[in-house]
Structure 1
C-alpha cells in the first residue's frame, strides 16, 4: 500500500491488488467459467416463449430499451467476465447466421454447462464430457433430420411461410398484430428472393421505422423509403420517370486544403468574389442538367444559393442522405455514385418510375418514397408505432420474422415448435446413451437432460409446472410415437391430457435449419468453455 497526492494536494491510497489476486487453474477455473456463463443464461431464461417476460435495459447515457430479443439483451449488457462474453458472441453468431432462436441457444448452452458442472463434480475429465456432448449432438441432429417434415412453402398463398413467421412473432411484443406483420415479412422476402437459387438478398430489404400512428399501420412499400424531405418547399413533390443523379460531392465552392487568406478592400473586389461564387453554383447545376437528370440526391448539404438555383431550374433535390441509404438507392435504381460534377454522364444516372414525398400524422412528418426501381426489386417495410421504443422493438421482431422466412426458402423442411423437437431429440439421445459403454455414457445422458431445459423453461414461463408438463409431453410422444407433440402454452389446460398438443396441426413450427444450427453452435461453444482451464492476464503474459 502506497500513499500518493493528487494535483490539489489531497492524499489517496494506492492498493497493490494484483499481488493479492488468486489465479484460478484446473477444476476451480472450470467451475468459475461455468458459473459466469450460467449467470448470463439464467438472465435470458424468463424471456423464452410466447409468455416470456421482457427486459428493460438502461444504457449509461440513460437510453431505455424494452425487449425480449436475446441478441439485443446480451449486446446491451455490460459483461466483463471473459467466458460470459463467449455466450454473448454465441447469441450474435446465431443472430447473424440464422436470425431466430437467439434466446434458446443461450439457454441451451447454459443448461449444458449446468450438466457439465455436475459431471465434473463426479470426477469426469472435461475432455470426456466434451466428447460425450459432441456424440449426443450428432444423435440429436440426426433425429431432427428424421422427424423433419417437407412442406410446399408456396401452397395456399404461402401459408407455410406465414405460419412460420407467426410462430417467430408469437413470443414478441408485437404478438397482437403477428398475422399482419408475418404477411408483410413474407411478401418482402418473396419480392427479393431468388427461388431458383434458394437465396434471399437481405440488402434489398430495408426496415424503416417512424414513430407515430399505430402498429397496424405498418406496411410494405415496393421501393425505397428515405427519412428525408425535398430540400426546398417550392420544389415539385412528385417526379415521374425519374432520372437520379447520385452525388457524394457538396453543392459548395471548392475549399483550398492549405491555410489561405483573402483581403477584400473595395466593393468591386467583393462583387467579383460574389460573381465567382455564383458561377461555381451555375456550373454545378448546368452539369446536372446537361447529363439529363431530373432529380438530385446528395450525401452532403447544399448552400442556400445552390438550393435556390435548383428550385429555379425545376430540379427537385434531397440532401444529407446517409452513405448506406445512398448505396441502396444506387443498387436499386441502377445508378452510379458520382464523386465529382465533372464525371457526370447520362449512363451514370439511376432510374425510377416515381419519386414522391409522403407526409404522416398530424405533425406532418415527411418521408421520401422511391418506387418502381429499374434495376432490382428493392422493398421497404415502413414500421409505425406509438413511440420510439415500440417502433425499435417492432423492427427487431420483423427482423426475426424475415430471417425465419428466409430459412424456409433455403431449406423447406420444418420441425414442430413448442418444445416438441427438443423432447424428441432428448428421447433419441437417451436411447443412444444406453449403447455407449464408456464413461462418456454419463455425458450423453446429461446432454439429453440439457435438451429438456428448453421445454421446461417454456412451460415455466407459461405458468405450468415444468417437470410434470415435460414428463407428460415426453410420455405422450413415446406412447403415440408422434414427435410433433409439444407443450400447450396458449390453450386452456384442464387436465394432464391437455398439456400436449400436435404442434404441426396447430401450425406452430420452425425451420429445421434454425434448430440444427442452434444445437451445433451451442455444443461447439460449450466444448470451448470446457477446454479452458486457465485465464492469463496481459500483465502476466508480459512477465512470462
Structure 2
C-alpha cells in the first residue's frame, strides 16, 4: 500500500516508491510454468469428455449453483477463474480457446481443450529432449494441415431436406448423448432440428438464431419440453378477469406507459380544496380515457406494454374490453414485433392500424397447481419465429437443458452450412493419428519428432473417451487402431455405449466436419502461442 501522510495544514499527500517490485521467470522455467498452468485446465475438463463424461458442480460466492459438463460453461463459471486471471494468464488462454470454439461452432468445447492439453504434454517431452519451441510449432502446423486434409478425405456427405430430416436428427442426437437430457435425446434432437429448419434460409444456407427463443420453466419433467410455433413470454394478462385466450389478435406494441405525463420540473402542486382535487382527478381520467380510445380506434384488441400501469388504468382497460400485458422486456418486445409484423410505438398519438401486429391466437398457459403462467403467441404473421419451452425438475436442470439444446441447434446449423460429417467415438482422431504418423516417415529433420508427437496427442482423445466409459484406455485404443490399419476402415472408434460394435457408422455417431477441423486448428494455434512464451514479467504494486 502507499504511504499517506499529512502536511502542517492537515492536507493528505501520498509518498510513492520510485520503483516497482517485479517478478520474472525466464527460459525453460517459464515454458514449464506455462505448460503446467494450461494442462491443469485441460485435466479439469478431461473427465467431462464423451457420453459417459462426468458433470461439474460450481458454486458462486453468491451461492448460485451450476451443474454442467459443457466445457465453455465450466471454464466461464468455475470458481477458480479469478485465481487464473490473476496468476495464470496462460491458463486464461485455454478458457478463451474454449469460448472461441463455442462462438464459432457451438459444440466441441471440451474436446478442443483436452486436445490442447495433450499437445502441450507432448511438447513438454520434446522440450526436454532439447528441441527448440519454434521447430515444435512448425511441426505441429505441418501435422495439423495433414490431419485437416485427411478429415476431408474420410468425411461423408449426408443429404437431407425438409421432408427427410433424419441425418440432422442423428447428428443432434450425437451431441446430446453426453448431456443431461440424453434420456430424451431423440425427442430433443427433433425439437432442435424443427426449430432450426423453421428459421433457416436454405438457399443462403443461413440460420437466424435471433428468431429462436429458448425459455424455461421449472416443474414437470424434461419430456414435457415442447416447440411452440410462435413466441412464449413469461408474463400474464394484467387483470385476472381478462380473457385467457384471444383469437385473431391485433397487437399494439407500446414503449410508453399507461399513465398521465409527469412534468420534468422540480415544482410541486399543492391541492388546497376539494374542487381542485376533483379537477385534477377529472383531468387524469381524461388522459386514461384518451389513451384507451386511441388504442381502440387503431383496431387493436390486445395491448403489449413495456412499462407498468396502475390499478386505475388496469380497471379501465378491463371495462373497455381491451386485454393488456405489462412489463414486457425490450428484447421480448422486439421479438414480438418481428414475429407479428408490428411496429413498436413510442407515443399513443402515433398509433394506427398499419402499425399493429397480427397473431392467430394469444393464450395464457398455467402450470401445475401454482400461479405460474406464461403467454403463448401463435400463428404469427412471420410464422418462422419459434420458441423452445424447456421443462425440468428444478432451475439447474432447466438451465443445463437450455445449454444442451443450444449446442445441438448450433450443430444442426453447421450441417446446413456444410453437409459433410465425420464419425465420432474418437474414430476421426485415430484415423488422423495413423495418417499423420505415416506422413512423418517422409519428413526429414527435427520436425519429424513434432509431427509424430502430434499424432500421439490425437490418440489422447479416444483414450479419454475409453477412460471415462470405464474401459481400459490403452487396450481399447490399441485394438481399434490395429483394426483401422488392418481393414482400412476409418469409421471404427471407441464403443463407449457398449453396443457390441466399434463401427460408428453403424451406431450412427456423427460429428460435423467443420467442427472437427476447427478443433484441430484452434488447439494448434493456441499451443504454438504458449510454446513461444519464454519470459514472464509480473509487475508488482506499489508498497
Q: TM-score, normalised by structure 1?
A: 0.93
Q: Which of 369, 375, 385 is matched with 2:392 structurally?
A: 385
Give the corresponding residue for 1:48: 49
Alpha-carbon separation, structure 2, partners of 1:510 and 1:243: 44
Give the corresponding residue for 1:471: 478
Q: How many residues align?
A: 526
Give the corresponding residue for 2:408: 401
* Pairing 1:256–2:293 present: no
Q: Which of 490, 495, 500 is matched with 1:488 structurally?
A: 495
Alpha-carbon separation, structure 2, partners of 1:268 and 1:181: 65
The answer to whether the 8 A contact 1:222-1:378 is kept is yes
Alpha-carbon separation, structure 2, partners of 1:453 and 1:19: 44
The answer to whether the 8 A contact 2:27-2:534 is kept is yes
Give the corresponding residue for 2:245: 238
SS across alignment from 2:278: helix
Alpha-carbon separation, structure 1, partners of 2:326 and 2:108: 39
Per the TM alignment, residue 345 of structure 1 is displaced from its structure 2 partner at its CA by 2.0
Give the corresponding residue for 2:511: 510
Alpha-carbon separation, structure 2, partners of 1:364 and 1:263: 42
Give the corresponding residue for 2:220: 213
Give the corresponding residue for 1:100: 107
Per the TM alignment, residue 20 of structure 1 is displaced from its structure 2 partner at its CA by 6.3
The answer to whether the 8 A contact 1:154-1:160 is kept is no
Q: Bigger CA drift: 145-154 or 26-35?
A: 26-35
Q: Which of 276, 280, 283 is matched with 2:283 structurally?
A: 276
The answer to whether the 8 A contact 2:107-2:515 is kept is yes
SS across alignment from 1:381: strand
Q: Which of 468, 472, 480 is matched with 1:461 structurally?
A: 468
Per the TM alignment, residue 155 of structure 1 is displaced from its structure 2 partner at its CA by 8.7
Give the corresponding residue for 1:67: 68
* Pairing 1:305–2:312 present: yes
Give the corresponding residue for 2:233: 226
Per the TM alignment, residue 157 of structure 1 is displaced from its structure 2 partner at its CA by 3.6
Give the corresponding residue for 2:344: 337
Per the TM alignment, residue 342 of structure 1 is displaced from its structure 2 partner at its CA by 2.0
The answer to whether the 8 A contact 2:22-2:537 is kept is no
**Structure 1 alignment gaps of length 5 or more:** 6-15, 493-497
After TM superposition, list the pairs within 5 Å mapping 1:29-428 onto structure 2: 29-77=30-78, 78=81, 79-80=84-85, 81-154=88-161, 157-428=164-435
The answer to whether the 8 A contact 2:23-2:538 is kept is no
**Structure 2 alignment gaps of length 5 or more:** 6-16
Alpha-carbon separation, structure 2, partners of 1:373 and 1:179: 28
Per the TM alignment, residue 28 of structure 1 is displaced from its structure 2 partner at its CA by 2.1
* Pairing 1:450–2:457 present: yes
SS across alignment from 1:347: helix
Per the TM alignment, residue 199 of structure 1 is displaced from its structure 2 partner at its CA by 1.4
The answer to whether the 8 A contact 1:99-1:400 is kept is yes
Deviations 1:289-335 (A, max 9, x none): 22221111111111211111111111111111111111111111111
* Pairing 1:430–2:431 present: no
The answer to whether the 8 A contact 1:331-1:376 is kept is no
Give the corresponding residue for 1:519: 520
The answer to whether the 8 A contact 2:21-2:540 is kept is no
SS across alignment from 2:520: helix
Alpha-carbon separation, structure 1, partners of 2:533 and 2:294: 64
Deviations 1:37-56 (A, max 9, x none): 11111100000011111101
